[in-house]
């Protein structure tokens, strides 16, 4: 027991060799990130080891198996799918068929697909649809909206025919529209025009080809421009496809359908409106808005030779929030309507029709 003080004295008085050895051992533990700290017999080195060990633990928090694991990063929930109005519409084929129930569509192409699925025929067999009449009546043509109680009649491709025409006048007298799915067809024939003298060309005929150039997939304004640019005195062949008919009762008015009864979108009637982004919404019909759209459509026919209530509706929507013709022109140029290449004069005419409708000057 008498030797213990001398041993302790010897430990306190260790030589430089043992200190250097202890220092190396401490550095080895630091490099190896040791969890257990050994005594090195020297306070400065022990303090340095403790400080570095703290930084190592802070750097390795993610590897600490003793504490609770960090929560995994949360993945944001996917956006909720667009809710389409689950409405059911009654439908028949114009030439005669059982009544089908159609629902779950958000635009014209989807509507055609649902109808084709219901009756088991290809969707590209559809030329157009009319509302509440089986006749080829362009005044009842399905455009950018459907009344919630409207009955849909689908008109399918019938027999093709080819007509040779010599353009003896600057204008043929045709107003062109399309079905929103790649088929342009005749919506109106001007009374007393060149085409009016050809009884075998009818309203509702799809213009499939001019000479050897297919027009399937072309928009109405492209077809109208092509017909307009045919030089006077030129003879060309136009291939048409007429809609199927069950008999003479299917033939609607040949001239301007606006002279007949107006389409029944009255005040307080809800409609399913197709939007440009591919969705649909139920809206309350607005008389002022409908008057504005009708007058825009008249301008489209006068300036461009086309008739398209959906396009007219898009133009009306673009005008919302604009206060003058410059703002309106910028709204048109900043949208997909820019492709139509509306002239400044036409923009001014459109703006005039819009402001007249807003102020109630148009009835």
Asked if residues 104 and 136 have their Cβ atoms less than 8 Å apart, the reply is: no
pLDDT of residue 193: 92
The predicted pLDDT at position 143 comes to 78
Phi-psi region of 173 (alpha: psi -120 to 50; beta: other; left: phi over 0): left
Share of the chain above pLDDT 70, in %: 65
Q: What pLDDT, on the 0 to 100 scale, is given for residue 21? A: 53
The predicted pLDDT at position 62 comes to 47
Query: Does the structure show a pLDDT above 50 at 101?
Result: yes
Reply yes or no on whether the pLDDT at 70 is more than 70: no
Give pLDDT, residue 207: 96
The first and second tokens of residue 98, run together, are 């059982």
pLDDT at 273: 63
Across 51-55, 80-84, 172-176, the highest mean pLDDT is recorded for 172-176
**121 against 143, higher pLDDT:** 121
Q: Which region among 50-59, 142-151, 269-278 has the lowest average model confidence (pLDDT)? A: 50-59
* Token representation of residue 126: 């559809």
List pLDDT tens digits, range 187-219.
999 999 999 999 889 999 999 999 999 999 999
The whole-angstrom separation of Cα 44 and Cα 40 is 10
Q: What is the rounded average pLDDT of the residues 48-54?
A: 44
The answer, yes or no, to whether residue 155 has pLDDT greater than 70, is: yes
Calculate the average pLDDT of the chain.
Answer: 76
Interior/surface letters 285-320, b for 16+ CB within 10 angstroms, e for the rest: beeebbbbbbbbbebbbeebbbbbbbbbbbbbbbbe
Kindly report whether the global pTM for this prediction surpasses the value 0.85: no
Highest mean pLDDT among 1-10, 142-151, 158-167: 158-167
The angle that helices 287-304 and 344-359 make with each other, rounded to 10 degrees, is: 160
Checking phi first, is residue 305 left (phi over 0); if not, alpha (psi -120 to 50) or beta? left
d(CA 142, CA 309): 9
d(CA 274, CA 142): 11
Indicate the burial class of 87 (C-beta count within 10 angstroms; 0-12, 13-18, 19 or more).
middle
Decide: 139 and 253 in contact? Cβ < 8 Å.
yes
């Amino acid at each position: 027991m008498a030797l213990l003080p001398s041993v302790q004295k010897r430990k306190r008085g260790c030589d430089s060799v043992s200190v250097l050895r202890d220092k190396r051992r401490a550095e080895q533990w630091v490099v190896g990130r040791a969890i257990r700290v050994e005594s090195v017999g020297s306070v400065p080195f022990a303090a340095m080891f403790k400080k570095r060990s703290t930084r190592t633990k802070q750097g390795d928090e993610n590897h600490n198996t003793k504490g609770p694991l960090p929560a995994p990063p949360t993945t944001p929930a996917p956006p909720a799918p667009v809710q389409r109005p689950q409405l059911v519409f009654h439908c028949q084929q114009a030439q005669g068929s059982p009544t089908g129930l159609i629902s779950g569509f958000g635009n014209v192409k989807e509507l055609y697909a649902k109808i084709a699925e219901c009756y088991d025929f290809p969707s590209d067999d559809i030329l157009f649809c009319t509302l509440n009449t089986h006749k080829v009546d362009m005044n009842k043509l399905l455009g950018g909206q459907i009344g919630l109680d409207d009955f849909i009649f689908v008109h399918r491709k019938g027999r093709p025919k080819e007509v040779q025409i010599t353009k003896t006048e600057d204008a043929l007298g045709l107003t062109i529209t399309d079905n929103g799915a790649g088929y342009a067809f005749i919506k109106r024939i001007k009374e007393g025009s060149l085409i009016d003298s050809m009884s075998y060309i009818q309203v509702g005929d799809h213009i499939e080809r001019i000479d050897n150039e297919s027009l399937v997939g072309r928009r109405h304004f492209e077809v109208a421009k092509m017909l307009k640019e045919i030089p006077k005195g030129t003879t060309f062949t136009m291939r048409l496809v007429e809609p199927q008919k069950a008999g003479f009762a299917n033939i609607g008015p040949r001239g301007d359908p606006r002279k007949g009864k107006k389409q029944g979108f009255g005040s307080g009637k809800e409609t399913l409106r197709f939007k440009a982004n591919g969705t649909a919404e139920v809206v309350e019909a607005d008389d002022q808005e409908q008057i504005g759209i009708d007058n825009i459509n008249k301008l489209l026919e006068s300036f461009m030779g086309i008739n398209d209530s959906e396009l007219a509706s898009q133009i009306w929507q673009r005008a919302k929030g604009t206060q003058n013709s410059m703002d309106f022109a910028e709204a048109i140029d900043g949208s997909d309507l820019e492709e139509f290449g509306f002239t400044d004069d036409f923009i001014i005419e459109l703006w005039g029709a819009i402001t007249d409708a807003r102020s109630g000057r148009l009835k």
